[in-house]
Amino acid sequence: MRCNKTKFVALTLAALLLIGGMSFPASGRAGRPVASVSAMQNEINGIRDQMADLERQRENLEGQVANARDEREREIVVRNSIDDQIRITRSEIDLLEDLIDQLEKDIEYQISLIEEKQAEVDANHALFLARTRARFIQDDTSTLGLVLGADSFVSALTRTNTMVRIGEHDQRIGRQLMVQRRELEAQKAALNARLDEQEDARRRTEEQRQLLSNQLASANMRIQNIDQMEREFLANLEENRRMRDQMQAEIEELIRRIQWSQNPYIGGDMAWPVPGFTRITSEFGPRFGGADFHTGIDIAGGGGAGSIHGAPVVAANSGTVAHVNWSHTPGRGYGMFVILDHGGGTSTLYAHLSNITVTVGQTVVIGQTIGNVGSTGWSTGPHLHFEVRQNGVAQNPRPWIFG
């Protein structure tokens, strides 16, 4: 009897120590706040949405090419969509790089969660092993024997309750361990999915960079071709004249609406608007046998000057940005353009841009980059259409630049 009591006392003390002093590892995470995790996921979802929108734009351009009636029309569609294709590819590269950065942050967080969960599993596993060893050691002491060996009814109830609590505690340890292991496997699977997505984003980034390189090379091979422009203009003379007159009326109306500076002209000779590229493919004045009047000069690449597409376009003189036009219709008008106010009723216009780097109201200095050469609007290849206007009337730019 004394032996049984001794065993029971030892077992009871061990149980109390386990139940009272060894609690389950905390399942709550002390890491990144839920709000910041949600914000990070929202950022990733936002990038995915933007990429899906760009893909739809690309498919629309490809559909226009596929729907061309003949090779000539297809060539025109391809030529007119050059800048949109390049813009989409550049945007996709930027978004993929952002996605890679966001995924890297999420991967770091997922790793921290796995480390925390692994520590919980290890702690509960050690506790589970300790309880298993304790039960093995006490195998020679049956529950019934301990109860029957009690010297009173109260003692029997106490021993029974203690044994029940020990059994329940051991079961909770086992269940908690299984839950934690399942959570750990789920976290590892989530981490692997993120790693796969990041690797895919890196692969796609390299593919898009190669595509961009090919697109830029293709764009720069399409030098401004005045003969081709003349053929296209004369092929549908009346319609093109109507569109030209409409475009000029829109520009003149725009110029009338602009609140021009009351300051005098800034003065001095103007700077060349595309440094390093001096080839003029179309001069100011009548062209196409008098069928058209060119309101500026066209500056293009070729002739050993290198690739002009994307080349910086600079302010010909200091002044203020009077107007910025981002919207454009492929194959029509000035495309993307900027107008600068130089005071005294003098303004300059920079058209067919692929990118604009200034905003309305911004002050610029002579030689400052305001955009990049492109082929938006009515254009047979990358070039800059440059105008000088005095009180809204187009002037020959040459005297303003060369004195």
Burial class (CB within 10 angstroms; exposed 0-12, middle 13-18, buried 19+) of 66: exposed
Taking each helix axis from N to C end, the angle separating 82-137 and 71-80, rounded to the nearest 10 degrees, works out to 70
Domain boundaries, the chain: 2-221, 226-402
What token pair was written down for 30?
Answer: 């002390």
Regions of the chain where pLDDT drops below 50: 1-2, 5, 8-10, 12-14, 16-30, 140, 144, 146-147, 303-305, 403
Q: Cα 102–60–78 angle (5° rounding)? A: 110
Q: In degrees rounded to 5, what are phi and psi of residue 324?
A: -130, 130
Integer Cα distance of 369 and 31 in angstroms: 46
Evaluate the CA torsion angle 264, 268, 269, 271 in order and state its sign: negative
Integer Cα distance of 82 and 223 in angstroms: 12
Task: Quote the DSSP letter at residue 32.
Answer: S
| Amino acid 363: pLDDT | 96
Name the amino acid, one letter, at 117: K
How, if at all, do strands 319-325 and 346-356 pair?
A: unpaired
CA 398, chain centre distance (Å)? 42
Q: pTM of the entire structure? A: 0.56
| Amino acid 21: pLDDT | 45
Which DSSP string corresponds to 83-134?
HHHHHHHHHHHHHHHHHHHHHHHHHHHHHHHHHHHHHHHHHHHHHHHHHHHH
| Amino acid 301: pLDDT | 74
pLDDT in tens, 340-385: 999 999 999 999 999 999 999 999 999 999 999 988 887 777 889 9
What is the third-level CATH fold of 226-402? Glucose Permease (Domain IIA) (2.70.70)
Residue 297 · residue 272 · CB < 8 Å? no
| Amino acid 224: pLDDT | 53
